[in-house]
Amino acid sequence: MTTIQYIGLDLHKKTIQACAKRADGTLVERLKIPARRDELTRWAQRQPKPWMGIMEATLFTGWVYDTLQPHASELKVVHPAMAKAISAGKHSNDRVDSEQLADMGRCNWVPECYMMPAAERHLRRILRYRTKLLSESVRFQNILAGLLMAEGVEYRASQLSGQRRASAFLDSLSELPESTRKLLRLSRSFVNLFNQTQRQLLQELRKHPRVKERVERLQSIDGVGAIMALTWALEVGDPKRLPSVAKACSYCGLTVADRRSANHVYSGPLSKQRNRHLQRVLVEVAQLAPRFNPALKALYDKERQRHSHNEVTILVARKLVAYLLAVDKSGRRFAAIEEAKSNCTTV
């Protein structure tokens, strides 16, 4: 009779601590593996099958998961926050953590999190890199403005907004020291580079065959642009893993963290356990979408009479999540969904 082995993997930058156990808790192997693809592949090939790998979600999980997937019977990625609640203890080191992961697997206590396919993870990495480039562009624009203010130069924001306009304005500042003018030109060149690169990355993502049709369907919602559609598609992955709008809102960080005890309910701010990339984009879009979407405008006007602007923005973002989830799950454009809904109401 073949028994499955449960292998806990504690991941680090240079090493991977592995602990293998049988279903009855018998320790089979404990060793440290260099964190390299070739070493990990050779180790995986030596393992007697079937075996299950259990690892935490970290920065290094993606390549380890892809390397082990052809060799393991099953791989599970543990939600880090939930794993702490299960495996809390006085001592924590690589050996203890890997053993606790193995115990989670053999006891079927794994709080598993979703692992996106490798191809979509690569596209998501490009999208997040594009966001970092945009942040750097804004940072250097602020540096450029600070240099002008340090020299007492009066300027308007519009004079620094465009590449040609900004270059013409900086060339006109002949009264400034050459060292300052050099720093101004250098800062502006960084802004141009970051802006040009992020636009190229965005165009490549929009045209990628893996997400092109999906993004076009999501953009059929009034007020949803390319950034919102790409962020939703590449951060959510498979929409079927979100069974309801409430679960989707929780994943996007649009629900409050509450504690219930007896008849008392303690409500806090928005939960920190969320996808921060989706939350940021949804909140930004929710502030602009009512200008282009009549339904969201009606919701905003109605709720603004009773709530503050920030609270209403969250309500609009939740409605936007409902629209995005409906389009993504149905595989139809938003107009077709609304038409089908109105037909059902008429009948």
Give the integer Cα–Cα distance in Å for 222 and 161.
27
Is pLDDT above 90 for 335?
no
| Count, residues in the chain | 347
- For every residue of 76-141, DSSP letters joined together read EEE-HHHHHHHS--S---HHHHHHHHHHHHHTT---B-----HHHHHHHHHHHHHHHHHHHHHHHH
In this prediction, residues 44-73 reach a mean pLDDT of 94
Residue ranges per domain, the chain? 5-106, 119-207, 212-346
Which pLDDT tens digit goes with each residue over 221-250? 999 999 999 999 999 999 999 999 999 999
CATH topology of domain 5-106: Nucleotidyltransferase; domain 5 (3.30.420)
Summarize pLDDT for 21-33 with one digit per residue, the tens.
999 999 999 999 9
Residue 121 and residue 114 in contact, taking contact as beta carbons nearer than 8 Å: no
Query: Under a CB-based contact definition with an 8 Å cutoff, are residues 301 and 257 in contact?
Result: no
Mean pLDDT of the chain: 91
What would the two tokens of residue 342 be?
């109105």
Residue 148's nearest CA partner among 126, 122, 174, 170 is 170
Q: How confident is the model at residue 315 (pLDDT cuts 50, 70, 90)?
A: very high
pLDDT at 90: 59
Percent of the chain with pLDDT over 90: 78
Q: What is the pLDDT of residue 91?
A: 67
